Chain A
């Protein structure tokens, strides 16, 4: 299966027009993560040694749901009822309703703190293999809570954490100096890649180094273009 095969699944999700650009902006990044990087198994979604993927930017989760369906975490039929009264799939994901979803998100600026805590919890239990990937949006970085997490993870060299920032130029005031520098100044390694180029995304994710958290800024077309 390739990402092209996910798109029909994505189109089964209706009623998410508001967040559609947001959903499509993340599709390639989420696909590369689930197809090439994450050590996760739909048969064992609670495996304590699994990698964690946290969709901090809970907006527009259609791409997330479609990839989860493509990878066997949720039935394809669920995609036909987005945010209905009996649907487990809403416009922001709920970890208690959807297998494979690590955090309930929607309000921006929560995933990175939860991801840092998850990495710390795994480390405290001697689980050093799992990595924690947190997907954020460039506008989401407006929330100051992210910068609490960026500063702490950088200062403590929390190298199990990778932040992936999908950058579609939607932050109202922009990020002068670039998003990567916001992480680098706190000791993270950071790379900027073409968010539609699967090999580039994969290479960016593999560029993590010991003793530093890692950030991948995935540039995509500007929102609304």
Chain B
């Protein structure tokens, strides 16, 4: 996904003089050719994430379309107040593109993990949140974001599905069944499909959680039973699902990353297992709940 971002961002910088990229050292080497080609629109501010967002806000105030990029924990967690005030409260938008989703950087420890990024963005009004599950989804989502002035968060991961679904802004059924609706967000689709093999469930995929496709949810959740599987903090979208189904009896199982600092390294696969997000644990959780 990171390469897909670099490729599409490069094209956008070459094609659209309104586009600007603000970096805080992360990915600076990958964009060095673009910095030389467009020195006024490719800006590496050094390890200064507050400034990265402040500059993005200033660029947007002059009519440019800034893209700010770093690890999720730096671009969102560390610069949260700048996102709130230098973008949102000024009435301007930017595209924030993160890498290092949840525990992608597990070997580097908790300092480089951000399973709470989408929850933090979700506290702010007006944001579109894209969680692609495949590198093939990244380019179209970035292009769509660059074409607006809206605040957009694009969350890239090293965890990927087998198939790209560029058209998955709305809930997209990928397996039809008669039982509960299982919503798989972004890279959770692959483990969800493995976990629900042979079960009588409908599996729907989306790469867009804000705004959440509540109409599609209501249409697909005929039984009122919903399993929500997100690759960041468990329950991040539970309030949206509950509100969408408030007028009918429903049951919701929210799965995702736990609210625990495990003080552990290892691999993303290790952390998926520890947080109950590997296929075996997901299957057991759904079976127990159902």
Partner of A125, one of B45, B48, B57, B63: B63
Find chain A residues with CB under 8 A from B111 CB.
none
Q: Are the C-beta atoms of B59 and A121 separated by less than 8 Å?
A: yes
Find chain A residues with CB under 8 A from B56 CB.
117
Q: Does B64 sit at the interface, judged by CB under 8 A?
A: yes
Interface members, chain B 87-108 (any A CB < 8 Å): 89-91
**Chain A count of residues within 8 A CB distance of the other chain:** 30
Q: Does B70 sit at the interface, judged by CB under 8 A?
A: no
Q: Does A38 sit at the interface, judged by CB under 8 A?
A: no
Stretch at the interface among A18-26, A67-75, A108-116, A206-214: A108-116
Q: Are the C-beta atoms of A120 and B58 separated by less than 8 Å?
A: yes
Find chain A residues with CB under 8 A from B48 CB.
148, 151-152
Find chain B residues with CB under 8 A from A145 CB.
50-51, 54, 82
Q: Are the C-beta atoms of B90 and A104 separated by less than 8 Å?
A: yes
- Nearest CB in chain B to that of A127: its residue: B62
- Nearest CB in chain A to that of B61: its residue: A118
Q: Does A102 sit at the interface, judged by CB under 8 A?
A: yes
Partner of B61, one of A114, A124, A127, A151: A114
Q: Are the C-beta atoms of A120 and B82 separated by less than 8 Å?
A: no
Q: Does B40 sit at the interface, judged by CB under 8 A?
A: yes
Q: A102-B61, A125-B62, A145-B51 are in contact. Are A107 and B45 (CB under 8 A)?
A: no
Find chain A residues with CB under 8 A from B20 CB.
121, 124
7 contacts between A and B (CB under 8 A): A107-B81, A113-B54, A114-B86, A121-B63, A121-B64, A145-B50, A149-B54
Q: A113-B58, A114-B90, A118-B58 are in contact. Are A107 and B85 (CB under 8 A)?
A: yes
Find chain A residues with CB under 8 A from B46 CB.
151-152
Partner of A116, one of B41, B55, B90: B55
Q: Are the C-beta atoms of A117 and B54 separated by less than 8 Å?
A: yes
Q: Are the C-beta atoms of B45 and A148 separated by less than 8 Å?
A: yes
Q: Are the C-beta atoms of A121 and B54 separated by less than 8 Å?
A: no
Among B45, B63, B64, B66, find the residue whose CB has the most chain A CB atoms closer than 10 A.
B45
Min CB–CB distance A106 → chain B (angstroms): 8
Find chain B residues with CB under 8 A from A112 CB.
54
Q: A104-B85, A107-B81, A116-B51 are in contact. Are A121 and B58 (CB under 8 A)?
A: yes
Q: Are the C-beta atoms of A124 and B85 separated by less than 8 Å?
A: no
Q: Does B43 sit at the interface, judged by CB under 8 A?
A: yes
**Chain B count of residues within 8 A CB distance of the other chain:** 29
Q: A113-B55, A152-B46 are in contact. Are A120 and B61 (CB under 8 A)?
A: no
Partner of A117, one of B40, B58, B85, B91: B58
Find chain A residues with CB under 8 A from B59 CB.
117-118, 120-121, 124
Among B20, B57, B58, B64, find the residue whose CB has the most chain A CB atoms closer than 10 A.
B58
- Nearest CB in chain A to that of B40: its residue: A124
Q: Are the C-beta atoms of B91 and A125 separated by less than 8 Å?
A: no
- Nearest CB in chain B to that of A121: its residue: B62
CA A113 to CA B60, docked complex, whole Å:
12
Min CB–CB distance B126 → chain A (angstroms): 13
Interface members, chain B 1-53 (any A CB < 8 Å): 20, 40-41, 43, 45-46, 48, 50-51, 53
Q: Apart from A117-B57, A120-B58, A148-B54, what are 18 other A-B pairs with CB-CB below 8 Å?
A: A103-B61, A104-B89, A107-B85, A109-B50, A110-B85, A113-B51, A113-B54, A114-B58, A117-B61, A120-B40, A120-B55, A121-B20, A121-B61, A121-B63, A122-B62, A124-B40, A125-B63, A145-B51
Q: Are the C-beta atoms of B43 and A120 separated by less than 8 Å?
A: yes
Interface members, chain B 238-285 (any A CB < 8 Å): none
Min CB–CB distance A44 → chain B (angstroms): 16
Find chain A residues with CB under 8 A from B63 CB.
48, 121, 125
- Nearest CB in chain A to that of B56: its residue: A117
Q: Does A223 sit at the interface, judged by CB under 8 A?
A: no
Min CB–CB distance A172 → chain B (angstroms): 21
